[in-house]
Amino acid sequence: MPEPSLATERTRTFLEQQSRDMAPGELRAELLVSGAFLVAASVLAVLGGIHGGAQPAVVTAYVLALAATSLVRFDVGASFTVPTQVVFLPLLVMAPPGLVPLLVAAALVLAQLPGVIRGGAPASRMLSTPANAWFAVGAAAVVLAGGGVDEPFGEPHLLAAAVAAQLVCDFAASIVRERLLGGVGLRELVEESRHVWTIDVALSPLGLLLAAGATRAWWAVLLVGPLFALLRFFSNERRARLEQLIELNDAYRGTALVLGDIVEADDSYTGAHTRGVVQLALDVARELGLGEERQRTVEFGALLHDVGKIAVPKEIINKTGPLDDREWEIIKTHTIEGQRLLDVVGGIMREVGQVVRGSHESWDGSGYPDGLVGEQIPLESRIVSTCDAFNAMTTTRSYRTAMSTADAVAELQRCAGQQFDPRVVDALLRVVGPVRRLEPPDALAA
């Protein structure tokens, strides 16, 4: 079974990681990112010094407020976002800019401490907390370079530049962390990060208003208390729904695996062939830039594209030789039977059923069962069809030996625009590349 494609799977992994001690590789990566933050924050503290007439009691109040707001977490993939922007911008105004990154790190540690004390989170997880404060470095550097903010409404351009630097710095730190951890690629990271950017930008005007109020009455931060109580409620609701979604996704994947096992029990070739098609189809889907939801549909469609064969007599499935016309007509019903089975399961499996039904349609309209042409065929079906054919050509059947990979590539190119979508063929050939062309013919079915 290939790696799951849904963002909920990354959320599941992230939540599981937060409840256990860090593995050695993860610990090294987090220490590197956190250590780099402490170096950068210390440099800013030395350069900025303590100036501006900040009152320690006021700064402490804002650090405590930041810690409180950081408890409102919205999980996004393998990370999370917190609506701290409303308090962070006033902190940039009220505290010495050079000290802000260290103050933010202190607030995040303070927020995590109760969970560690209660035993809800391992103490080693606190080592990664400074890494989550990288966003403050860029913003503080901009404000420090601008000489500080005395009047937020009089210097909105400076705070706008600080927010931009905050987003860039946070994203750069995320890229480094993912590279060290061997996580997702740039495209997936941008998809996850845009949710963080949206929340930070949306809350920035409110943060600006609070910053302006804070210069006149430091206790203005207390006015956002009811808002964050409401956000905490919504964040808990979202966590519960994510957990339900993960369970539902498990149920669907379990159903797909059970059905796949039934097919494999009847036909050992089909089972091995299907596993090869699934991984290849997922690679092609990513190459074509399909989103997470459509990748999941491709994954399940490839896994179940032959599920309808359980309704075909075994003597036809396992026949050692070419099929006659009557047997071919029976075989052709397996896509309709597959869709019928998945419609019974319901939910997202209805979408997968459409992919299964279209998995033997041809680009020029000569396929079955509906004779669809070109773009009428679901893209997911076109991906499964092309990968199915390539994998079938490069594996040994009871009535013929496998083609060489080079011959299979030539056949795909010959049939592009007739049986196969040319764009999907091009994507598959980019995925196959020179490395896979050197593999043994049966490698993709393993």
- Judged against a pLDDT cut of 60, whether residue 2 lies above it is answered with no
- Rounded Cα gap, residues 403 and 424, in angstroms: 20
The answer to whether 48 and 96 are in contact (CB under 8 A) is: yes
- Rounded Cα gap, residues 251 and 257, in angstroms: 10
pLDDT, residue 205, reads 86
402-410: average pLDDT = 85
Percent of the residues in the chain that have a pLDDT greater than 70, as a whole number = 80
Q: What is the pLDDT of residues 71-120, one digit of tens each?
A: 877 766 555 677 888 888 888 888 888 999 999 999 999 988 887 777 76
27-44: average pLDDT = 91
Calculate the average pLDDT of the chain. 80
The mean-pLDDT minimum among 53-62, 160-169, 199-208, 270-279 falls in 270-279
The answer to whether 83 and 69 are in contact (CB under 8 A) is: yes
Q: How confident is the model at residue 1 (pLDDT cuts 50, 70, 90)?
A: very low
Between 375 and 220, name the one with better pLDDT: 375
Q: What is the pLDDT of residues 319-359, one digit of tens each?
A: 777 888 898 899 899 999 999 988 987 878 899 999 999 99
Q: What is the pLDDT of residues 6-35, one digit of tens each?
A: 455 656 666 566 667 777 888 888 889 999
Tokens (6 digits) for 203: 């809350």
- Judged against a pLDDT cut of 60, whether residue 267 lies above it is answered with no
Between 428 and 263, name the one with better pLDDT: 428
- Rounded Cα gap, residues 320 and 399, in angstroms: 6
pLDDT, residue 403, reads 82
Q: How confident is the model at residue 51 (pLDDT cuts 50, 70, 90)?
A: low
Closest to 66 (Cα-Cα) out of 187, 216, 224, 195: 224
Candidate ranges 38-47, 265-274, 287-296; pick with highest mean pLDDT: 38-47
CA distances from 279 to 286, 335, 387 (A): 11, 21, 9
- Tell me the three state secondary structure of residue 200: helix
234-250: average pLDDT = 71
Tokens (6 digits) for 420: 């196969």
- Rounded Cα gap, residues 446 and 188, in angstroms: 28
Closest to 356 (Cα-Cα) out of 418, 311, 314: 311
Q: What are phi and psi of 308, to 5 degrees?
A: -65, -15
Domains of the chain: 7-234 (1.10.1760.20), 248-445 (1.10.3210.10)
